[in-house]
Structure 1
Amino acid sequence: MKTLQATSVIGDARLLAGLDQGRLDRQAHLWTHGAQPELTRAAYSELCEAVGLKGRGGAAFPVARKLASLPERGIEAVVVNGSESEPISRKDRMLLTLSPHLVLDGATGLAHALGAPHVLIAVHDAEAAMSVREAILERGDRLAIEVTETPGRFVAGEARAVLSALEGGPAVPPGRKVLPTQQGYHRRPTFLSNVETFAQLAVLARMGSRRFATTGVSAEPGTQLLTVAGAVQRPGVIETPIGVPLDTVLRYTGADPGPVLLGGYHGRWLPEASQQPLQGTGIVLALGADTCPLGEVHRVAQWLASQSAGQCGPCVFGLAGLADDFGRIVRGDTSGWYDAQRHLGLVPGRGACAHPDGAARFLASALEVFDDDLRRHLGENRGCGRPVHGVLEVSHG
């Protein structure tokens, strides 16, 4: 595993408070954040509704609505999804490694409020798993808290894949699309969200809705964690107010001019920095101007195809076909462009999980944003003249 990147803050530190001193053990955590209040289910629901808290795993589903969809009784577990299988992202493993008690506070506090007997933590990073296990030993929680290490495969981070892994099955999404709040762990109602969501719940419980809403935007107050990577002078995990402009983040990290990827390999490209407010993004990657954009995207297309769960045609054949299409585009073969357009129209909306849709969105965005490079590759020169430096990471570090 690569060493965790640096942390920094634009504005006030909440989730990252105290981390300038390194990992927070139980004593340092309490000194930094204070004791976790005991709240009822109704209190959690009211707080989440008041600030419009959304899940921080990519889907941005309102937490209050998720709580409302659970039955009054019979909730089996609270599940912390720490299977951060996006190669670029570091924010969740950073929280589990350096501030595990904040995540545990959010999970155990909610479990007590819901009457759930189990807190299950799925994590694919060995260092993060060790940190959480150490933190559990420092606590006196009256709950069964279990840590399960999951595969680092991209689709293994999908909610239903996580539940399958926790039950001892393969870490792949099953074909059925049933919400965890209805049939989760052992087919019982389950509250499942990602690591940052539980850390935000712990902060919200302590601060209350009024103080929590003193930063961010009115429609979605609070802070967010961003993994900033690529052609930047200061890569790492940054806590910012929600709605901070993209160009503010890029200036702060010393990013090179050029295209920007938002949201990782299921996200989308922008041609350059802008005043666009960042909400629910999670990942900001500056590509820079020294590498071949289409060559970089081709590497990712190959990796995305290799991450298929092998359950449906759009994923198995569609993503493999797109990887081949982009390879031919890079080599200057115009047939690759035509085939890519055809495949991008066939893949979305037909898969057993969201992986084909996300991959297609990423690749379609690349063809749109890198139009000038596309013309160079498909023109007389059959290339843009730049090497592929591997700015886009395609391994689980």
Structure 2
Amino acid sequence: MTTLQAEPHVRVIGEARVLAGLDGGRVDLQRHLWIHGPQPELNREACTELAEAVGLRGRGGAGFPVALKLADLPASGAETVVVNGSESEPLSLKDRLLLIQSPHLVLDGATALANALGARRLLIAVHDAHAAASVRAAIGERGPATLEIHVHDTPGRFVAGEARAVLNSLDGGRAVPPGRRILPTRKGYQQRPTFLSNVETFAQFAVLARLGARAFAATGIASEPGTQLLTVSGAVERPGVVETPTGIPLDAVLRFAGAEPGPVLLGGYHGRWLPRTDGVLLNRPESSTGIVLALGPETCPLGEVHRVAGWLAAQSAGQCGPCVLGLGSLADDFGRLLRGDQAGWHDAQRHLGLVPGRGACAHPDGSARFLTSALGIFAEDLRLHLRTGSCGRPVLGVLPVTSSPEASRG
């Protein structure tokens, strides 16, 4: 079994684009220009046409089409562009990798869109100190610019990485998602129209701007061509961040990583478990967060899930009952069913039916999806626990959880 590395290995299946040149460590400005060439200047119409031509979507959890975001902005454009680098999912390292090792590619995509939209400022929200230092160094390497560029330190809590939570933090508020689901393109930073996306999206756009739509679409699937970044971990021989063509079979990625047989988690702790991987293609929405974790056969699946359930409950923003009470109850339910308590199983089923669709943000829904999937996929292990109080395997910690900062309450 392997665990996620602080500095993940860089691997490529097919052609290296976003990860080009990263086998030698951090890429400074001179080497960046040697690898990728100069960034072309584009107007808003050209940016929209490029994004639409290749069906470029945001590479965070939502996968919203970039062209639609651009079209939803007012004719005057946006005053601010925000790079969401608050990657607080313990299983994902791709955005952190880009900010640390290829910050200029991210800055290229962000500044290109900012200039095309007539933005006055570019804000980069980052919770990882190493990544923030790398971006600040890259800004210094680029020299004076008319565009204001600032790096903002954000909290590292799970819900703090959600787009509206990031905007709240940038505005000086608590880094929690508000109950109102208003698009940043309408009311974003300082309640003004804002273009916001995650780190990989801007890096992919920088590649697209250089290659053009035809060359960009030379790999991947027709509906959303190009490449994607995956964080592959768990019971694998070769973990790391992998660049692959979109639409690649999941089995091919697992073989490449040397995965042990067993269930696979896609989408992280708001994702779902798969008992079988044959026939699964990694494209949207299947790979929206770029997380692939092989569980392996040696650990107790339900014990692993119980650890994550407790962590998810501790990550609550404290804004609503389904999150504060519901996720806490579910963590307790899973602990009881692990010990063979039939009532724990019945309570888990009841609570999983009450949580979804009632929260102030997506955290309760995503957590319930992860837990519901586990109960279905690990049904045989569940029967063993309910019958004997154990499946006979230890909990090895294949599913990592970070130490939880003190939860914000309000």
Q: Normalising TM by the smaller chain, what interval?
A: over 0.9
Secondary structure in 2 aligned to 1:164?
helix
Which residue does 2:294 correspond to in 1? Answer: 286
SS of the equivalent of 2:151 reads strand
Q: Shift of residue 176 of structure 1?
A: 1.6
Tell me the equivalent position of 2:199. 195
User: Which amino acid is 2:73 matched to?
Assistant: L
Letter in 2 for 1:44: C
Shift of 1:74: 5.4
Aligned-pair CA distance for 1:3: 2.3
Offset at residue 337 of structure 1 (A): 1.0
Partner of 1:272: 276
Q: Which amino acid aligns with 1:53?
A: L
Name the counterpart of 1:305. Answer: 313
2:407 is aligned to: none
Query: For 1:92, which of 88, 92, 95 is the aligned residue?
Result: 95
Distance across 2 between alignment mates of 1:252 and 1:89: 18
For 1:385, give the aligned amino acid: G
Offset of residue 273 of structure 1 = 2.9
Q: Deviations over 1:7-43 (max 9, x none)?
A: 0100000000001111100000000000000001000
Aligned equivalents of 1:168 and 1:223: distance in 2?
36
Q: Given residue 375 of structure 2, which amino acid in structure 1 is its aligned partner? A: L
Structure 2 residue corresponding to 1:161, chosen from 157, 161, 165: 165
Pick aligned residue for 1:384 from 373, 385, 391: 391
Q: Deviations over 1:205-243 (max 9, x none)?
A: 000000000000011100000000100001100000001
Q: Structure 1: which 5+ residue stretches go unaligned?
A: none
Shift of 1:167: 1.3
* Of 20, 26, 29, the match for 2:29: 26
> TM-score, length-normalised on structure 2?
0.95
Partners of 1:46 and 1:346 in 2: how far apart? 43
Say which of 65, 70, 93 aligns to 1:67: 70
List per-residue Cα deviations over 1:288-319 (Å, max 9, x = no partner). 00000000000000000000000001000010
SS at match of 2:135: helix
Which stretch shifts more, 218-227 or 71-80?
A: 71-80
User: 2-side partners of 1:247 and 1:279: how far apart?
Assistant: 13
- Alignment partners' CA distance in 1, 2:120 and 2:396: 49
Residue 142 of structure 1, CA deviation: 2.1
Write the distance in 1 (CA, Å) between the matches of 2:340 and 2:241. 37
Maintained 8 Å contact 1:100/1:132: yes
The amino acid that maps onto 2:194 is T
Alpha-carbon shift at residue 396 of structure 1 (Å): 6.2
Q: Which residue of 2 aligns with 1:217?
A: 221
Of 260-269 and 327-336, deviating more is 327-336
Q: Are 1:229 and 2:215 matched, yes or no?
A: no
Structure 1 residue runs of 4+, over 4 Å off?
A: none
Q: Percent identity?
A: 71
1:17 aligns with 2:20: yes
Instruction: Determine the C-alpha separation between the residues in 2 that align with 1:331 and 1:142.
Output: 62
> Which residues of 2 match residues 250-269 of structure 1 at below 5 A?
250-269=254-273
Distance in 2, matches of 1:159 and 1:168, equals 15
The superposition leaves residues 351-388 of structure 1 with CA deviations (integer Å, 9 ceiling, x where unpaired) of: 11100000000000000100110111111x22100000
Secondary structure at the residue paired with 2:248?
coil
Q: Is the CA contact (8 Å cut-off) linking 1:257 and 1:272 kept in structure 2?
A: no
Aligned residue number for residue 408 of structure 2? none
Q: How does 1:237-252 map to 2 (within 5 A)?
A: 237-252=241-256
Q: 1:136 aligns with which of 135, 139, 142?
A: 139
Aligned-residue RMSD, C-alpha:
1.2
Q: Is the 8 A contact 1:106 1:201 kept in 2?
A: yes
Report the AA paired with residue 225 of structure 2. Answer: P
SS at match of 1:225: strand
Q: CA offset at residue 245 of structure 1?
A: 0.4
Residues 1:395 and 2:402 aligned together? yes
1:138 aligns to what SS in structure 2? helix
> Which residue identity does 1:150 align to in structure 2?
T
Corresponding residue number in structure 1 for 2:371 = 363
Which of the numbers 339, 351, 357 marks the counterpart of 1:349? 357
* 2:52 pairs with 1:44: no
Distance in 2, Cα, partners of 1:195 & 1:306: 26
Gapped regions of structure 2 (runs ≥ 5)? 405-410
Distance 1:173 1:217 in 2: 34
Equivalent pairs, count? 396
After TM superposition, the score normalised by the length of structure 1 is 0.98
Give distance in 2, aligned partners of 1:115 and 1:355: 34
- Aligned AA for 2:218? T
